[in-house]
């Protein structure tokens, strides 16, 4: 048997173009002489379709797509994922299409309902295995979460399958590739099956699907690994020798990416697909001369091309000359269009306009926020005029404790660094400079500062990031209590103050732009806390 797996990038809801991509892949597989081509989970609609699944008209489009796919199923078998609506239930399904008809279907049995997943909101769980036969080889079917427990794999092994095809829409986080590999080896050890693990690739709002499809043989060895973050077709020959399946391919596999390049690739793909799939003409970034905006510019330039990125450098009375100089140097290195728009005039205008209202009140963070909001107005104006999306530059450390200005530096449509700690922001900047040195050294070496008042440093308002970030990771990503964090060796007063800052700034985070998820617990889909809450840990 010759099989092609399509590690494809689909857009949620774009059924017409998704179908065109599917048909193009089928025609290529035919030219390669493949007997079977397999596509990822919910390929026709894209994943996750969320409440689009509640729109009745969606299923008319799905049916039309299936008719088109059936029409090209001569001389090849097609395994395709889509939502199947029966008279009473909706299933997350995959079907084998041959000779212009659906020959067999499988309904996903394990519906994830944790973290970023809420499939039980929409789907009914299947309850039985499904085997198909292609060129005399018995293949078992499963979908994504099915592989994370032993039941579905054991069902098809007991029914006589030699090979399990598991189609996926498995989103990336930094430890996910290793977790998948461990789970696949467990299933092989339990069942003796060979497993083809086929994963979606592409960005969808906060989620990035990293591909990384693989084949694990019946001995638990990864005998093929597809690239991560790339769309590609992979073709294999499978034959049975001495009661074992033997796989061969002319396509060389790739090594699993290390931590920093994997995270950086996820950020690049997330920005590229968010901007592209939503029809924006490029990106606008406020470049301050600080580390966050510098890394955001690097990511945007790699994702979109420097010709599609526009920079505003917006110094205030508190901006050091070195900040402006470093911003200009980086823009020139990348050959990105930039404009210098000082914000003194709009800041003064706001201050004078508000003077009667603020009479008798001392200066405080209000005046700092007016500067950030002046910048937000300018960036959004350029976005409106050019059709380019404003990328916000805040990181997870800042968003956690509310060290950001609503409608100021938080203004924008997408936040590439939203799930990156400040510590990781520095690490990624150093790594990116090892590829090509584009971030000026002084930006990395300088103490971080918002430059909204004289001689301001982040550590005036926050603990050092070497202390703040581990506490935030324990509280947000690991769900540890303040008491547990203190027992781990952190100062009690510091821990409780950070926890209070996190809890009281949920209202800001709820209004923040979406951003790429790279940890197990990102703000948004993963961590859903009430805004109005008097719950306290102590």
What DSSP assignment string belongs to 164-182?
EEEEE--B--TTHHHHHHH
Backbone angles phi, psi at 445, to 5 degrees: -80, -25
Confirm if 296 and 393 have CB atoms less than 8 A apart: yes
- Taking only Cα atoms into account, the Rg of the chain, rounded to an integer number of angstroms, comes to 26
Among 463, 458, 393, 388, which residue's Cα sits nearest to residue 429? 393
| Omega prior to 422 cis, within 30 of 0 | no
Largest CA distance in the chain: 90
Other Cβ atoms within 10 Å of 106 Cβ, number: 29
Catalytic residues: 41, 108, 144
Confirm if 438 and 298 have CB atoms less than 8 A apart: yes
Q: Buried (b) or exposed (e) across 267-283, using 16+ Cβ within 10 A?
A: bbbbbbbbbbbeebebb
Q: Buried (b) or exposed (e) across 377-413, using 16+ Cβ within 10 A?
A: ebbbebbeeeebbbbbbbbbbbbbbbbbbbebbbbbb
Confirm if 296 and 417 have CB atoms less than 8 A apart: yes
């Amino acid at each position: 048997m010759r099989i092609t797996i399509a590690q494809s990038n689909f857009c949620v809801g774009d059924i017409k173009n998704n179908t065109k991509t599917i048909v193009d892949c089928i025609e290529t597989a035919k030219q390669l002489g493949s007997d079977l081509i397999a596509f990822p989970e919910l390929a026709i609609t894209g994943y996750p379709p969320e409440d689009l699944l509640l729109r009745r008209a969606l299923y008319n489009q799905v049916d039309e797509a299936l008719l088109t796919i059936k029409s090209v199923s001569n001389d090849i078998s097609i395994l395709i994922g889509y939502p199947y609506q029966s008279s009473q239930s909706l299933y997350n399904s995959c079907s084998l299409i041959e000779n212009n008809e659906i020959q067999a279907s499988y309904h996903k049995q394990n519906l994830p309902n944790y973290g970023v997943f809420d499939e039980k909101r929409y789907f009914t769980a299947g309850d039985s295995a499904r085997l198909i036969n292609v060129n005399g080889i018995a293949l078992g079917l499963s979908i994504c979460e099915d592989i994370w427990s032993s039941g579905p794999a054991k069902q098809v092994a007991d029914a006589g399958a030699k090979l399990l095809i598991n189609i996926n829409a498995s989103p990336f986080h930094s430890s996910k590739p290793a977790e998948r590999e461990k789970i696949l080896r467990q299933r092989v050890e339990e069942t003796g099956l060979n497993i083809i693990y086929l994963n979606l690739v592409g960005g969808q709002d906060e989620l990035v699907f990293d591909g990384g499809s693989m084949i694990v043989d019946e001995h638990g060895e990864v005998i093929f690994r597809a690239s991560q973050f790339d769309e590609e077709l992979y073709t294999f020959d499978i034959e049975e020798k001495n009661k074992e399946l033997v796989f061969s391919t002319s396509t060389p596999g790739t090594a699993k990416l290390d931590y920093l390049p994997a995270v950086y690739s996820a950020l690049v793909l997330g920005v590229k697909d968010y901007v592209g799939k939503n029809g924006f003409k490029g990106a606008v970034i406020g470049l301050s001369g600080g580390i966050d905006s510098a890394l955001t510019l690097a990511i945007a330039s790699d994702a979109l091309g420097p010709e599609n990125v526009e920079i505003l450098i917006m110094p205030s009375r508190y901006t050091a000359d070195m900040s402006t100089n470093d911003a200009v140097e980086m823009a020139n290195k990348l050959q990105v269009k930039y404009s210098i728009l000082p914000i003194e005039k709009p800041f003064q205008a706001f201050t004078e306009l508000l003077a009667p209202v603020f009479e008798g009140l001392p200066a405080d963070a209000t005046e700092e926020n007016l500067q950030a909001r002046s910048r937000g107005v300018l960036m959004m104006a350029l976005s409106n005029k050019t059709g380019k999306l404003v990328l916000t530059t805040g990181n997870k450390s800042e968003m956690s404790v509310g060290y950001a200005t609503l409608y100021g530096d938080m203004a924008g449509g997408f936040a590439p660094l939203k799930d990156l700690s400040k510590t990781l922001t520095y690490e990624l900047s150093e790594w990116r400079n090892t590829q090509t040195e584009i971030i000026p050294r002084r930006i990395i070496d300088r103490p971080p500062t918002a430059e909204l008042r004289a001689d301001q440093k982040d550590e005036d308002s926050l603990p050092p990031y070497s202390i703040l970030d581990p506490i935030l990771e324990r509280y947000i990503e690991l769900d540890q209590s303040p008491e547990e964090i203190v027992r781990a060796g952190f100062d009690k007063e510091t821990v409780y103050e950070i926890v209070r800052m996190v809890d009281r700034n949920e209202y800001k985070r709820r209004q923040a732009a979406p951003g790429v998820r790279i940890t197990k617990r990102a703000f948004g889909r993963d961590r859903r806390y009430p805004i109005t809450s008097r719950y306290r840990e102590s």
